[in-house]
Amino acid sequence: MRTDTGQVFKLEDYRPTDYLIPETSLTFRLSPEATRVVAVLTVERRGGIAASVPLVLDGDGLTLTRVAIDGRTLAPTDFFATPDQLTITALPAAPRFQLVIETELAPAHNEALMGLYRSSNVYCTQCEAEGFRRITYFLDRPDILSVYTVRIEALRHEAPLLLSNGNPAGSGELADGWHYARWHDPFPKPSYLFALVAGALGKVADSFVTLSGREVELGIYVEPGKEGLAGYAMDALKRSMKWDEEAFGREYDLDVFNIVAVSDFNMGAMENKGLNIFNDKYVLADQETATDADFANIEAIIAHEYFHNWTGNRITCRDWFQLCLKEGLTVFRDHEFSADQRSRAVKRIAEVRTLRAHQFPEDQGPLAHPVRPRRYREINNFYTATVYEKGSEVVRMIRTILGAETFRAGLDLYFERHDGEAATIEDFIKVFEDASGRDLSQFSLWYHQAGTPNLTISSTHNPAAQEFTLEIEQSVPPTPSESRKRLMHIPLAFRLVGADGKAMAFSSVEGASVEDGVIHIRKRRHMVRFSGVAERPAISLNRGFSAPVTLSVEQKPDDQFFLAGHDDDTFSRWQAFNTLLTDALISAFRQVLGGKRPGFASRLTKLAGKIAGDGTLEPAYRALALALPSEADIARDIGKNIDPDAIFSAREALTAAIAGANREIFSDLYDRLADKAAFSPDAASAGRRALRNILLDYLSLLPGGAALAARHFQSATNMTDRAAALTVLALRHSGSPEAVKALADFEVKYATDPLVMDKWFQIQASVPGPKTIDAVRALTGHPAFSMTNPNRVRSLVGTFSSANQTGFHRTDGEGYRFFVETVLQVEKRNPQLAARLATALRSWRSLEPSRQAKAREALLSIGNAENLSADLRDIVERTLA
Ligand code: 0A1
Ligand code: ZN
């Protein structure tokens, strides 16, 4: 484990290296305990650098067995090696030489899942961000682009399949049952994109003909026997390849494209050139084992990794501060893909919900950082919602400002100008400036400044003058180490809506630049005056969520109700209803704190019924509208002095009120939505299931609810319905005979399917209330649970600590004690996973004082543990700062 050195990496310290490595040839002789790696590097000294300047290579826990230059083994005095660095001082005078480095690894003991490791007897690698240095000494940074040739040797019976990046370049038999394969990747790439897989795997094969008529062989490799579960992933891959050609003119460039699913993986998936490695959760699916959400995730992640081939691989990042260059842009691309494959309106709402659930709390808490950070201690901790999701929103805003056509011209220029390079955010912004002739310098603050901007907006109407005025004020709250903020350029899409629900015209506007329905806010305060507005309009703001900001709007409830029923922008219509729900929940929370029973306006609860039954709206949209803001959403909007129990009661009360007010509509619709057709994972069918399942959630609160959910569970013909019913039983009817039976039946049925058991762990970890901690503790001893598998840990421990507000924040601090124990236990093997778990307490300062004190104590006790990894120390110290 890499312990913390306390070193802080700074953007301004970036310097190009003195040496380059244009060619890398690697030979692996694979064995679980002692794998030999021979790296033959062509090293080039840059012009102007003296031969006396040593070559300093990165390592991480390496065992060096030999170093040679130009065929001569170096003497111990010619170099200095530690497990974490190799410094060679005796270098040839010639500007180009061949360096051979031999190392020995024990993949079977690599539990951090970085570098070369074993997952269920399969050798695999993970090199982003700095895992390559756990394989060999190298200039392990993304601006060192090298052409790789790889030879893999293994015992044929142990590893019949040998894969690496690029195209196959030969294979054959060796003595004693060994065999080998060679791979060559003609595209220069950074070391973080290197990959190797070797083992016994099942294959699903297909092919794809590119726009220019080249045939690409496609392979998806899975655990033998699971080939039948890879069909959806293959279909998603082919659709992604086609879409990238049509939407962005990007064609695939190698002869093969392979995907391997492994069961031990720290993240979702990895875009290694020509050889994507996936967490098997995001490959394997059928109706029996995967939910509609799983299908949608698989489609999105397959697309995301594939799209990286251009945005990340062909054009990579100069340094890790530029991570959003590949991630923000690639998330934007996968969002667009899913929007085109599914429903754009529904997709946008789902994206915004995710952003608010994950990125807003990050931006509003101690871990806030700019989309392009300027410093880090541990880069693994910067694969964040800010870099990914906010990064994508920033790209979306560029498109909003430039218009779709100019945006596309800018991207074309980006591919043309920077193909084969390691680029920066400045390069990225420049192509859009050049393509549009606009100055994006103020806009670029979105990359450099942390925090979620807020817009305070009020309006006045002067009927005599036929003038409607919006007073808009922007503010960006202070964030760690950025107390003073500069004014941002915020593109705010809007519409004035008349009583007939249609857009109201205006004759002129002054006070801000307004183009194509977008107000460009650039100053602290704008008075935006619309002339020729006879009647007072309702105002639809931040349409389509044009900017990732919070709004404080003085809006009359009547207008909000009107927009919730009439806004023609589906996102804003959803938003209007969601705001009404949030406002009601916040006042209910206050009532609960004041010892009162919360009450709700009947026009609100009735509107829920109206939306549910509105056949003009897509079922998936209706399901999203009926999903109340989560407890965490409510806590975030309240902001301080959070009592999770009071939030829970308020939310329960509103759910019951909506169910009670709409009994007949809901139950009638629930019956009508029963699917009689054969299962299909398409968006429309999934939408109908989503609506029916949320109706079940409401109906389960009415008399006979547990029995209804039990019937739903038993008659389910797919995992979406089965898991939804189990959730309702476990969460709403915890401890009931129906819940106990369903949980037991599920466990028996899926005991040998780890990915399905994850759902079982997850559901039980979500049960609200003080007793859940005991169940979670007990489940850590379940035979299907393992502290070494990231998916298992996230399902049980991760769900409990980041998605169970009442259980985790139990008043006596027991949830936090469990959290400290498990984080420290996980950290010993897998620091990256532990650091992610530890972010569950990032919003500790918004808790009420007693919980806050206990949460702080928990963080301090992690911080005081000995030999803490760089990953965990970084998170804990920033959270406490
Ligand atoms: N680049 C991947 C994410 C990723 C990052 C780090 C990893 O290992 C520590 C693995 C994957 C993506 O964006 O999909
Ligand atoms: Zn990515």
Residues 449-507: tens digit of each pLDDT = 999 999 999 999 999 999 999 999 999 999 999 999 999 999 999 999 999 999 999 99
**Using alpha carbons only, what angle is made at residue 824 by residues 823 and 827, rounded to the nearest 5 degrees?**
85
Q: What is the mean pLDDT of residues 841-865?
A: 98
Average pLDDT over residues 124-144: 99
Q: Residue 62 pLDDT more than 70?
A: yes
From 111, 266, 267, 311, the mutation candidate for ligand 1 (largest count of ligand atoms within 8 A of CB) is 267
Q: Is 816 a residue whose pLDDT tops 80?
A: yes
CB atoms within 10 A of CB 173: 9
User: What is the per-residue pLDDT for 554?
Assistant: 86
Residue 308 token pair: 């990286």
Q: Is the predicted ipTM greater than 0.85, yes or no?
A: yes
Model pLDDT for residues 716-772, shown as the tens digit of each residue: 999 999 999 999 999 999 999 999 999 999 999 999 999 999 999 999 999 999 999
Q: Which of 759, 627, 808 is nearest to 291 (CA)?
A: 759
Q: Please report which helix (H) or strand (E) contains residue 434, including its range.
A: helix 425-436
The predicted model gives 260-275 an average pLDDT of 99
Q: What element of type H or E holds 853? A: helix 849-863
Nearest-ligand number for the alpha carbon of 269? 1
Q: How far is the centre of ligand 2, averaged over its atoms, from the C-alpha of 327 (Å)?
A: 5
Compute the average pLDDT of residues 589-595.
Answer: 98
Q: Give me ligand 1 centre to Cα 385, in Å.
A: 13
What mean pLDDT comes out for the span 415-441? 99
Cβ neighbours of residue 268 closer than 8 Å, sequence gap 6 or more: 278, 279, 281, 282, 301, 304
Atom of ligand 1 nearest to the CA of 832: 9
Rounded Cα–Cα distance for residues 243 and 248 (Å) = 8
Mutate which of 273, 383, 791, 869 for ligand 1 pocket (most atoms within 8 A of beta carbon): 383
815, 800 contact by CB (below 8 A): yes
Share of the chain above pLDDT 70, in %: 100
3-class secondary structure, 520: strand
* Closest atom of ligand 1 relative to the 388 alpha carbon: 13
- CA 310 to chain centroid: 19
Ligand nearest to the CA of 330: 2
For residue 71, pLDDT beyond 80: yes
Which residue, by CA, sits nearest to atom 8 of ligand 1? Answer: 128
**Would the pLDDT of 214 be above 70?**
yes
**Ligand 1 centroid distance, CA of 171 (Å):** 30
Judge whether residue 315 has pLDDT over 80. Answer: yes
pLDDT of 652: 98
Mean pLDDT to the nearest integer, 3-12: 88
pLDDT tens-digit readout, 766-810: 999 999 999 999 999 999 999 999 999 999 999 999 999 999 999
Ligand 1 pocket, CB under 6 A: 126, 128, 266-271, 304-305, 327, 380, 383, 832
Query: 620-642 burial, b for 16+ CB within 10 Å, e for fewer?
Result: bbbbbbbebbbbbbbbbbbeeeb
Output the CA 117–ligand 1 centroid distance in Å.
16
- The three-state DSSP-derived secondary structure of 300-359 is HHHHHHHHCCCECCCEEECCHHHHHHHHHHHHHHHHHHHHHHCCHHHHHHHHHHHHHHHH
Rounded Cα gap, residues 189 and 272, in angstroms? 10
> Quick one: pLDDT at residue 682?
98
> pLDDT tens-digit profile of 158-184?
999 999 999 999 999 999 999 999 999
Cα distance between residue 609 and residue 698, in whole Å: 11
Task: Answer whether 0.95 is exceeded by the pTM.
Answer: yes
Residue-wise pLDDT tens digits, 606-618: 999 999 999 999 9
Helix (H), strand (E), coil (C) string for 447-505: HHCCCCCEEEEEEEEECCCCEEEEEEEEECCCECCECCCCCCCEEEEEEEECCCCCECC
Residue 51: pLDDT band with limits 50, 70, 90: very high
Ligand 2 centroid, distance to 839 Cα (angstroms) = 20
Q: How confident is the model at residue 5 (pLDDT cuts 50, 70, 90)?
A: confident
Q: Which ligand 1 atom is nearest residue 304's CA?
A: 14
Over residues 83-109, mean pLDDT: 98
Using the atom order of ligand 1, give the atom closest to the CA of residue 383.
5
Atom 5, ligand 1: which residue's CA is nearest?
A: 128
Predicted local distance difference test score (pLDDT) of residue 4: 72
Ligand showing the shortest atom-to-Cα distance for residue 270:
1
Q: Residue of the nearest CA to atom 4 in ligand 1? A: 270
Give me the mean pLDDT over the 510-525 stretch.
Answer: 98
Ligand number with the minimum distance to the CA of 328: 2
Pocket test for ligand 1, best of 110, 128, 306, 307 (most atoms within 8 A of CB): 128
Question: Is 11's pLDDT higher than 90?
Answer: yes
The pLDDT value given to residue 3: 67
Average pLDDT over residues 133-139: 99
Mean pLDDT calculated for residue range 184-190: 99
Mean pLDDT of 293-308: 98
pLDDT band, residue 585 (cuts 50/70/90):
very high
Ligand 1 centroid, distance to 129 Cα (angstroms):
8
Please name the residue whose Cα sits nearest to atom 13 of ligand 1.
327
Q: Which ligand neighbours the alpha carbon of 276 most closely?
A: 1
pLDDT higher than threshold 80 for residue 76: yes
Per-residue pLDDT band for 2 (boundaries 50, 70, 90) equals: low
**Does the pLDDT of residue 510 top 80, yes or no?**
yes
Could you tell me if 659 and 612 are in contact, meaning their C-beta atoms sit under 8 angstroms apart?
no
Q: Whose CA is nearest to atom 1 of ligand 1?
A: 270
Q: Ramachandran region of residue 120, left (φ > 0), alpha (ψ -120 to 50) or beta?
A: left
Cβ atoms of 462 and 537 within 8 Å: the answer is: no
Q: Which pLDDT score, from 0 to 100, does residue 676 have?
A: 87
Ligand 1, atom 9, lies closest to the CA of 128
Q: Quick one: tokens of 825?
A: 């236990």
Distance 267 CA to ligand 2 centre (A): 10
Indicate which atom in ligand 1 lies nearest the CA of residue 326: 13
Closest C-alpha to ligand 1, atom 11: 270
Active site positions, annotated:
305
Mean of the per-residue pLDDT values for the chain? Answer: 98
Distance 294 CA to ligand 1 centre (A): 19
Helix (H, G, I), strand (E, B) or coil at 85: strand
Question: What burial letters (b/e) apply to 290-308, b meaning 16+ CB within 10 Å?
Answer: bbbebbbbbbbbbbbbbbb
Pocket test for ligand 1, best of 140, 192, 270 (most atoms within 8 A of CB): 270
Instruction: Write down the pLDDT at residue 838.
Output: 98
What's the gap in Å between 348 CA and the centre of ligand 2?
Answer: 19
